[in-house]
């Protein structure tokens, strides 16, 4: 079974440029998560989708970050414009059900460097 | 929101049992305790989850005392491949479909040959 797929794996951009990350969750998984992980820190939840609906986006900086999950499958996270402080690893995860006790399966992440 | 406290780092020799304790003093009645493992350049991977007493699977055991204010992840006979960061999470369900898993800073386990 294929795991969570993320692309690109690495991205280097100049500040003020836009950037987008793509996530393909495990087939059949209803819940999708985007996390941000800074060096030496644990992942921080940005947004959680149940099927197509964003049910928790309280930690998403909405002035520059946006996300979508069309048809309840793939998801895209966008930053526009990027700032130096956005340099981090962006992780996508998915879980089969809608319960918080469901195991989350993480992708390898996208490492973003903003110059 | 329940917060967790773990040691920043631990060292262990190969073949030893490792116990990593996590404090979660304000855990709520509905909260579950989950542990994840993360290797460099990879996303976290689920290890074990429990609510009370003891849970065991093929890779680890989880001990939760009656007051549930702490939990201990036990890794039997660690090997070099167990060198990783281990996260303790407390899941909080606040009703109406709203819940959150909060990762702390984790414990960096280094296994020494």
Among B32, B46, B103, beta carbon nearest to A43:
B103
Cα angle: B29, vertex B31, B37; to 5 degrees: 155
Q: Which of A42, A50, A93 sits opposite B87 (nearest CB)?
A: A42
Query: For residue B60, what pLDDT band results from cuts at 50, 70 and 90?
Result: very high
B13 in contact with A, Cβ within 8 Å: no
Across the range B25-49, mean pLDDT stands at 91
Count contacts between A and B (CB, < 8 Å): 52
All structural domains of chain A: 5-114 (2.60.40.10)
Give the nearest partner residue to A93 out of B43, B97, B98, using CB atoms.
Answer: B43
CA gap A93, A32 in Å, rounded = 6
B3 vs B106 pLDDT, higher one = B106
Chain B hits for A101, CB-CB cut-off 8 Å, are 32, 34, 49, 91
Would you identify the CATH topology of the domain B9-112? Immunoglobulin-like (2.60.40)
Report chain B residues whose CB lies below 8 A from the CB of A42: 87, 103-106
Helix (H, G, I), strand (E, B) or coil at A85: helix
Summarised one tens digit per residue, pLDDT across range A2-39 is 899 999 999 999 999 999 999 999 999 999 999 999 99
* pLDDT tens-place string over residues B70-90: 999 999 999 999 999 999 998
* Residue B37 in tokens: 């493992």
pLDDT band at residue B46, thresholds of 50, 70 and 90? very high
- Can you give the pLDDT at residue B91? 75
Structure tokens at B44: 């976290």
pLDDT reading at B95 higher than 80? no
Q: How far apart are CA A115 and CA A26, in angstroms?
A: 33
| Most confidently modeled range among A48-52, B26-30, B43-47 | B43-47
Choose, out of A42, A95, A97, A101, the residue to mutate when testing the contact with B (most B CBs < 10 Å): A42
Cα–Cα distances in angstroms (integers) from residue A35 to residues A8, A57, B3, B9, B17, in the given order:
15, 11, 18, 23, 31
pLDDT for residue A26: 96
Domain ranges of chain B: 9-112
Average pLDDT for residues A56-83, to the nearest whole number?
93
Q: Å from B34 to nearest chain A CA?
A: 8
Closest in B32, B41, B97 to A101, CB measured: B32
**What pLDDT sits at residue A85?**
96
Residue A30 parent element (H or E): none
Please, are residues B59 and B45 in contact by the beta-carbon 8 Å criterion?
A: no
Rounded CA separation B97/B94 (Å): 7
The Cα A77–Cα A62 span in angstroms is: 11
């Amino acid at each position: 079974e294929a795991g969570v797929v993320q692309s690109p794996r690495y991205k280097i951009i100049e500040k003020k440029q836009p950037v987008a990350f793509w996530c393909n969750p495990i087939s059949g998984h209803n819940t999708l998560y985007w996390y941000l992980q800074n060096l030496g820190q644990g992942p921080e939840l940005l947004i959680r989708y149940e099927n197509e609906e964003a049910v928790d986006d309280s930690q998403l900086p909405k002035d520059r970050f946006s996300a979508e999950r069309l048809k309840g499958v793939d998801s895209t996270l966008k930053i526009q414009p990027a700032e130096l402080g956005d340099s981090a690893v962006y992780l996508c995860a998915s879980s089969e059900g809608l319960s918080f006790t469901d195991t989350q399966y993480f992708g390898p992440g996208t490492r973003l460097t903003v110059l | 929101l329940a917060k967790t406290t773990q040691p920043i780092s631990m060292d262990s020799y190969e073949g030893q049992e490792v116990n990593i304790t996590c404090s979660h003093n304000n855990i709520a009645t509905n909260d579950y305790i989950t542990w994840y493992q993360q290797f460099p350049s990879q996303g976290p991977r689920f290890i074990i989850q429990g609510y009370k007493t003891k849970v065991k699977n093929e890779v680890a055991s989880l001990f939760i005392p009656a007051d549930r204010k702490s939990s201990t992840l036990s890794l039997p006979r660690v090997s070099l491949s167990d060198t990783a960061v281990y996260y303790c999470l407390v899941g909080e369900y606040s009703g109406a479909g709203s819940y959150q898993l909060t990762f702390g800073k984790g414990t960096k386990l280094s296994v020494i040959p």
